[in-house]
Structure 1
Amino acid sequence: MSQAKGFFHKFHLWSIVNRNDRKFFLFCSLVVGLIAGFLALGLKSAVFYLRDFVISESSNHFRALLFILPALGILITYAMKKWVIRDSIRHNVHSILHAISRRNSMMKKHKIFSSVLGAVFTAGLGGSAGLESPVISSGAAFGSNLGRWLRINYKEMTVLLACGSAAGISAIFNTPIAGVIFAIEVLMIDLTRFSLIPILVASTTGTIVTYVFYGEGILFEYTILHSFSGSDIPYYLLLAVLIAFVSLYFTKTFLWIEKLFSKIKKNFLKIAVGGLIFGVLLFIFPQLYGEGYLSVTHLLSGDLKSFNGEAFMFEEIGTSRTLFITLMVALILLKVVATSITISSGGIGGVFAPSAVTGAMTGYLFAFSVNYIAGEYVISPGNFALVGMAACLSGVLHAPLTGLFLIAEITSGYELIVPLMMAVTVVFIIVKLIEPHSIFTFHLAQIGELITHHKDKAVLNFLKIENVLENNLQKVPVEANLG
């Protein structure tokens, strides 16, 4: 034990001495990508196993348990935050941006595991929240604390933090390019060779980890069956306009519900109220269970029977298109409600997956309705669902490139690159004109701490006066003359 401790101490000293070496820094980015990859792998595997265990063990009473399972998950998560880690800070992208802006990119050590552990109980027991934000937060926390351990400067620590975030995205979706784009677009990391190469290394490493164990996407994967046609362009433009307003609805509703729950000061009352409301929603609409990718998979595969499930009042939906459209509209409107209640009442999760699922349902419903009105097959519901996913990510997260490359990589090709580019651009422009801040940056902008998106503010905020103040001046005697 003492020998291992001595070796560790020597390695620590050696790493500090070599911290400025470029090759060593690239090695650190590889380590961050490796750890973030295993965090993503562990998170999704744990959620899968917990969800399957709960369903199998309570198959006869599962419908009734939907009233209490989400509240139980949130209660366990709250207990963990209060009595184990003793911290109530957020576990999402908002906290990462705050760390970059105000904490010199330093994140608390417990977030390496607490974000993932809380998400397991929240989503595994039915909470309608995404798993991407927790794994992004955990990866970023590991990168940040590795940088602190090596005693590197703010710029290098921020890059390692971004490496963890990029690796988390790439690992959970098997999308290395989207991971890099996310770090640059959402976290606003400067696009230089110094930052780009380490982020590429980390993102690629994270993808390799999950690819070795899964061989395919952890959360979601789809192959395009219908090619893009130029005659579909008007429909894609109409969908983009629709998605823009759905994105605004998503953002405004999420923030409004979050504000309502913030007025409830007693945490156990907050959990009880949130759990009761969400339990009722889940009893009526089981499709709201978890992050929602399973429902999207059913839609894209055309398995509407599995998608309809056992939704209360929709058991006999059968071939009734009107009932199906009604169900879809309800799910689109209620997904954000379920997500906001889950997170606001104490659960740990993110809005990445819920916004993508909302966009997919909107795109599918749009195409389904067009074909229904026309009385024939006009446009592909699957293609429009995919474009809807990217477009909604663009609108809610203000991340058009992330949405674009995420879907392009998930579908293993660029067959839809034209409609994807059109949709994410149109949505981003419309949403940006109406709401200048994304769901991630809204609160920071409100209190004037959003400096990651303002480079001049960032430079001035971290500028140390002693580094620029001239103090080695030559003294001139009073009696001296110009000669």
Structure 2
Amino acid sequence: MDDNRGKWLRLTLLGLLSGVLAGCIVLAFRDAISWGQYLLLPGNGDYEDLPLLPRILLPVGVGLLLGLVFDTLPRELREVGITHVLRRLQAPGQERLPPANMLTQFAGAVLAIVGGHSVDREGPAAHIGAASASFVGQRLHLTAEEEITLAACGAAAAIAAAFDTPLAGVIFVIEVLRIRYQVSRYLPVIVAAVIGAMVSRALSLTQPGFAISPEYLSPNWEYTTLIILGTVTGLLAISFISLTGIVASRTIHWRCVLSFPLAGLITGMIALWVPQIMGTSYDTLEHLLRGEGDLLLVVTLLLAKLIATSCAIGLRIPGGLIGPSLFIGGAAGAAVGLAMAQYSLINTDSSGFYAIIGMVAMMGATLRAPLAALTALLELTANSNIILPGMVAVACAELITRLIRGQKSIFDVLLDIQTRSARFVQQEKRSRP
């Protein structure tokens, strides 16, 4: 009994250490992106200020550079992101996350985002956090079970630090990484998530991300509008997953020096007309949450972001898709709110309210993580009154997506494609004389 208590206490303390380590590394990662954008982009680091030609040349050039570097790496070192973490944690005997892949993810994501590719920093942050904590376990020669727990600690701390949502970080580990819940295992994860959020607040002075105007939180929500929004975001999640999967399956055997510049070219061509889709697009999302923008612009942003991100992720750009899914959902919510108000189907223009509901509905349906999405909604808004309308939209989106696409998340789809590709490569090697 005492031995078990000692192991449990040691793992909890290591969870605390993992939270500090992951929080600091994620902040360094975020700062590297911010500094790169500040130094490279005109004005205040906005892609909208770029002249027309650099909007194409920047993502294509960065894509070419990344492609040349990635093609020199062994195949196993090119594996990055949440799909990499999922594959390693689910494969018996391969629970350790290699530090070299973490470095590939760090540098690759910084270059991709600064270069304007339509990807995010939160997916890479989850990989970086999990790998940094796993490295601690490797140095201490922990058991495979303990290393999985530490990887979960790092991922939860990274999500908590990235969004300032510690509870959502814990739920993310359960729903997305599918780390089986055990009380003895999840106390270290909770500690790590709390510490990750505290590190983020202490070093970057972040506050809960989104404020909702009081008039949007009256008890008279238009439930019909919420059901429509949930249905729309569910269909968008299906489109996002399907398009990303199609692009990935058709190009999985392409060399990076071809696929990465092509992703940059697609992004650049779209950015000629819609530069807001370059990079993480969080500044544009903030405008949507404030209820700014007309219906045509919002729909254009939605479609442009969906296409650009699907192509970027499908063509294996080393970035994440959690942020783009939030953007697409936010644009969908804003569009539904604007459309309903424009045709006098709701009383007030509350597009900002519907934007944040759309964000979490899209996230839940795309990642198959409805509880993490609702938890994030509560933590981001710091207002419990928004949970009920959020549940209506998230449930509708999840229902539509499961009925049409089944239970697989976008990460499952990408992981299946990568697994089939790896088997094909192995068979090709065996068939050679």
TM over 0.5: yes
8 Å CA contact 1:129, 1:350 repeated in 2: yes
2:396 is matched with: 426
Correspondences of 1:178-327 after superposition (within 5 Å): 178-217=168-207, 220-225=209-214, 226-262=216-252, 265-304=254-293, 324-327=294-297
CA pair 447-120 structure 1, distance change in 2 beyond 3 A: closer
Q: Aligned pair 1:64/2:53, yes or no?
A: yes
Read off the aligned partner of 2:272 and give its amino acid letter: F
Whole-angstrom distance in 2 between the partners of 1:384 and 1:363: 5
3-state secondary structure, aligned to 1:347? coil
8 Å CA contact 2:221, 2:389 repeated in 1: no
CA pair 84-296 structure 1, distance change in 2 beyond 3 A: same
CA pair 47-423 structure 1, distance change in 2 beyond 3 A: same
Whole-angstrom distance in 2 between the partners of 1:138 and 1:179: 14
Whole-angstrom distance in 2 between the partners of 1:124 and 1:446: 27
1:133 is matched with: 123
Gap regions ≥5 residues in structure 1: 1-16, 305-323, 450-483
1:404 is matched with: 374
8 Å CA contact 1:136, 1:169 repeated in 2: yes
3-state secondary structure, aligned to 1:415? helix
Whole-angstrom distance in 1 between the partners of 2:50 and 2:284: 21
Is the deviation greater in 415-424 or in 294-303?
294-303
Whole-angstrom distance in 2 between the partners of 1:75 and 1:38: 30
Q: 1:116, CA displacement in angstroms?
A: 1.8
8 Å CA contact 1:33, 1:206 repeated in 2: yes
Whole-angstrom distance in 2 between the partners of 1:189 and 1:78: 33
Whole-angstrom distance in 2 between the partners of 1:26 and 1:291: 34
Whole-angstrom distance in 1 between the partners of 2:78 and 2:262: 21
Whole-angstrom distance in 2 between the partners of 1:69 and 1:444: 29
Read off the aligned partner of 1:335 and give its amino acid letter: K
1:8 is matched with: none
1:52 is matched with: 38
Whole-angstrom distance in 1 between the partners of 2:332 and 2:148: 36
8 Å CA contact 2:12, 2:188 repeated in 1: yes
1:98 is matched with: 87
Q: 1:21, CA displacement in angstroms?
A: 2.8
3-state secondary structure, aligned to 2:200? helix
Calculate percent identity across the aligned residue pairs: 26
Whole-angstrom distance in 2 between the partners of 1:443 and 1:254: 8
Q: Aligned pair 1:442/2:413, yes or no?
A: yes
Q: 1:87, CA displacement in angstroms?
A: 4.7
Q: 1:393, CA displacement in angstroms?
A: 0.6
Whole-angstrom distance in 2 between the partners of 1:215 and 1:334: 32
Q: 1:88, CA displacement in angstroms?
A: 4.6
Whole-angstrom distance in 2 between the partners of 1:82 and 1:35: 30
8 Å CA contact 1:18, 1:24 repeated in 2: no
Q: 1:243, CA displacement in angstroms?
A: 1.1
Q: Matched residue pairs, number? A: 412
8 Å CA contact 1:40, 1:172 repeated in 2: yes
8 Å CA contact 2:234, 2:365 repeated in 1: yes
Read off the aligned partner of 1:442 and give its amino acid letter: V
1:31 is matched with: 17
Match among 375, 384, 400 for residue 414 of structure 1: 384
CA pair 62-88 structure 1, distance change in 2 beyond 3 A: farther
Read off the aligned partner of 2:148 and give its amino acid letter: T
1:335 is matched with: 305
The Cα RMSD (Å) is: 2.5
Read off the aligned partner of 1:151 and give its amino acid letter: H
1:374 is matched with: 344
Whole-angstrom distance in 2 between the partners of 1:296 and 1:117: 25
3-state secondary structure, aligned to 2:78? coil
Match among 348, 356, 363 for residue 318 of structure 2: 348
Gap regions ≥5 residues in structure 2: 421-433
Whole-angstrom distance in 1 between the partners of 2:75 and 2:107: 14
Q: 1:172, CA displacement in angstroms?
A: 0.5
Q: 1:376, CA displacement in angstroms?
A: 7.3
TM-score (normalised: structure 1): 0.79
3-state secondary structure, aligned to 1:66? helix
Q: 1:277, CA displacement in angstroms?
A: 2.1
Q: Give the helix-richer structure, 1 or 2.
A: 2
8 Å CA contact 2:246, 2:314 repeated in 1: no
Alpha-carbon displacement from aligned partner over 1:95-139 (angstroms, at most 9, x marks no partner): 111001114321111133321221111001211001111110011
CA pair 18-46 structure 1, distance change in 2 beyond 3 A: farther
Larger Rg: 1
Whole-angstrom distance in 2 between the partners of 1:442 and 1:31: 33
Q: 1:297, CA displacement in angstroms?
A: 0.4
CA pair 88-285 structure 1, distance change in 2 beyond 3 A: farther
Q: 1:26, CA displacement in angstroms?
A: 1.3
Read off the aligned partner of 1:277 and give its amino acid letter: I
Q: 1:234, CA displacement in angstroms?
A: 1.8
1:471 is matched with: none
1:122 is matched with: 112
Read off the aligned partner of 1:193 and give its amino acid letter: V
Read off the aligned partner of 1:37 and give its amino acid letter: G
3-state secondary structure, aligned to 2:80? coil
CA pair 447-132 structure 1, distance change in 2 beyond 3 A: closer
Whole-angstrom distance in 2 between the partners of 1:332 and 1:19: 51
3-state secondary structure, aligned to 1:51? helix
8 Å CA contact 2:274, 2:304 repeated in 1: no
